[in-house]
Chain A
Amino acid sequence: MEIKKSAFLLALFITISLFLTLLLISDFLGGRREDNLNARFNEVYRDFDDLQQIMLMSDVYGNEMACIAYKNKLSDFDKRIWDLGLKLEQYRTATEEFRQSLYYLEQKKIFNENEFTYLALLKQIKKLCSNNQTIISFFYRNSKDCKKCDDQSFVLSDIKKRFGNDVAIFSYDLDLNITSLELLRKFYSVDEVPCVIIDERKFCGMQSHEFIVNQVCQGNNLLAC
């Protein structure tokens, strides 16, 4: 029995179709990932608007009223922005199998800029409402240039899990060359990475889990300490 050439062509056509289906599913999931992130970004923007409104409220209704509103808002917002950061990284890993996606690079920049704004707001709230939330700023670069940055990031993720809303962590990728981050880097004189600023105290180089826990617990009567 002779095999027709058409069998080889049909098999090739089916295989290519399966391959294209695979790419289409990947593309579809990529689109859904972007939609999901955009929706999360929109929630964060709405939260920013709310926070700014509350800030205006303090002039009209006084600090006490504004601080009650802040307390209600902050725990949700803090969780939302932290989860957004995690999702951004997870989805980027799933999407960027072949090459870097401009979407994720752009979103990461926007996320870092938002974090910068959130940091400024949080500091103001802390001053205004005597909030005892610990603020940690984490400066890092990609793992090729900074071998310990991933380790430090892992430790900080664990710190966040342990302390929840009692700790706000902001991660800044210095490779993104964002003007506001450059200002922040210069403000804290960060010359090496990884570097963590815990409530205005600077610790550069890899910091252990125990050390950071001690720093957070210093002077704070927290349940997780």
Chain B
Amino acid sequence: MNQNYTIFTYVVWFIATYYVVLFLVILFSDKKKIMERKKPYRNYSPFVSIIIPAYNEEESIIETIDSLKKLDYPNIEFIIVNDGSKDRTSEIVRAAIAEDKKFILIDNTTNKGKAKSLNEGIAAAKGEFIATIDADSVVEPAVIRKVLPYFSNKVGAVTITVDLKSIKTLLDKIIELEFAIGLSLFMKILSTFNSVFVTPGPFSIYRASVLRKIGGFDPNSITEDLEIAYRIHKAGHKIDNCFNAKVKTQSPPNLKAMYVQRRRWYTGALLTVIQHRNMLFNPKYGFFGFIVPYTFLLIISGLGLFLMTIYLLFSNLISLAQFLQYVNNSTIQRILEVRFDILTISGINIVGIMALFTSISLIVIGLFFTGKSIWKRKMGVFAFPLLFFLYQFYWMRAILAVISGRTTKWR
């Protein structure tokens, strides 16, 4: 066993475990307060604008419009920004909104990108609060009533729980769990120490004055929903989370689509950190300035450990293949000959078992708090660890993209 590898494994385990334990301590030490649902206002209904940027969304935008029409909120307007779609998006939207005066369509003939479309929407918006929703997402009727009470003094934006529209494939089942932990439970916990680092594209709501003060979305960013969160913090505002409001979004249909999505997400995350590096370890930004570099330390060290493991695994396999050249035994026969002895479990193996146990605990806690049954999601739980392998691949790709300067485009 490579001694450096062993020490590195223990270090990464410690960094990761502290991260998870800290989140769980915060969650369980003040569970009631964290999960407290704020009551909707009775006599206060400020004007709200909802912006829906759309690029080639002919298949999903109708569902989004339908869910918006069902919103249980009086003072509202919907601004659909068609970003030069090449399909029938414009035509479908026109037919769907017909004479409904709450809907405004900005029908661009050229594709400008998502951030610019959102900014056009912001410029046209009359609301005191501005929400953004992806054209492939749907919200529950009470969403606006639920989120508004979270806008206390310093709050500049509120995020909500992100879930999937439909769960059909194994990939959907894995992503559902990922969202339950990463985009729901962790966001809620992060909000308790003002460290939410993303206002998810599927649905987020902002104070209009804050959006205008910081200059809207950054058109140069490929992850505008992540980048804007950094600037909201920079401007001295908080981002809160309304755990009991939900947006349902479309999951990538296959691994290839997921790869394209994650390559953009992770490349964007790296570029945003580089762009706002002056926030890192800066006490001015409170815990946010520390949790972001800590998260990246965990990601980078995890990737390093993954690469070292792959290297060791392959060199051992090559050695075994060389050994097998000398004998006539088949590999399968050799594998079958191996007898399990519990005493051959080493410290590294225990670290692996503990990491697996931590992952399962997180899934169980994530599902519990999002009110989902674990028994109906056995396959997802079983397959969830696969996601860690995919993460390494996506992060590696993102790092290479940033180093080579070949970052992706976002329309």
Contacts and interface: CB of A to CB of B under 8 A. Distances in A.
Contacts of A22: 347, 350-351, 354
Contacts of B337: 161
B193 A19 contact: no
A154 B345 contact: no
B14 interface: yes
B322 interface: yes
Contact of A90 (B7, B17, B341): B341
A25 interface: yes
Interface in B1-52: 1, 3, 6-7, 10, 13-14, 17-18, 21-22, 24-26, 29-30, 33-34
B319 interface: yes
Contacts of B322: 151
A23 B14 CA distance: 13
B329 interface: yes
A183 to B, nearest CB: 30
A3 B323 contact: no
Contact of A7 (B1, B25, B341, B348): B25
Contacts of B14: 15, 19
A29 B328 contact: no
Contacts of A158: 326-327, 329
A11 B344 contact: no
A99 interface: yes
Interface in B280-328: 287, 319, 322-323, 326-328
A97 B346 contact: yes
A12 B344 contact: no
B346 A10 contact: no
B21 A14 contact: yes
Contacts of B7: 98
A91 interface: yes
A150 interface: yes
Given A1-B30, A11-B18, A15-B17, A94 B344 contact: yes
B123 interface: no
A155 B327 CA distance: 6
Most A CB atoms within 10 A — which of B33, B192, B341, B347?
B347
Contacts of B30: 1
A25 B351 CA distance: 11
Interface residues of A, number: 39
Interface in A1-55: 1-4, 7-8, 10-12, 14-15, 18-19, 22-23, 25-26, 29, 32-33, 36
B33 A1 contact: yes
A26 B347 CA distance: 5
B1 to A, nearest CB: 5
A11 B25 contact: yes
B347 A10 contact: no
A190 to B, nearest CB: 21
B89 to A, nearest CB: 42
Contacts of A29: 342-343, 345-346
A93 to B, nearest CB: 6
A98 B327 contact: no
Contact of A95 (B13, B24, B329, B346): B346
B192 A1 contact: yes
Nearest to A143: B319
Contacts of A7: 22, 25-26, 29
Contacts of A98: 3, 6-7
Contacts of B327: 154-155, 158, 209
Contacts of A97: 1, 3, 6, 346-348
Contacts of B193: 1-3
B18 A151 contact: no
A154 B18 contact: no
A52 to B, nearest CB: 31
Interface in A73-124: 87, 90-91, 93-99
Contacts of B22: 7-8, 11
Interface string B170-182: 0000000000000
Given A3-B26, A22-B347, A208-B326, 12 more contacts: A1-B192, A3-B193, A11-B18, A15-B21, A19-B13, A19-B17, A26-B347, A26-B350, A29-B342, A96-B1, A99-B3, A150-B319
Which 10 pairs between the two chains have the least Cβ-Cβ distance?
Answer: A11-B22, A94-B346, A154-B323, A26-B347, A97-B6, A158-B327, A3-B193, A15-B18, A11-B21, A11-B25
27 contacts: A2-B193, A3-B192, A3-B193, A3-B287, A7-B25, A10-B29, A11-B21, A11-B24, A11-B25, A18-B17, A18-B354, A19-B13, A22-B347, A22-B351, A22-B354, A36-B343, A87-B341, A90-B344, A91-B343, A94-B346, A99-B3, A150-B319, A151-B326, A155-B323, A155-B326, A158-B326, A208-B326
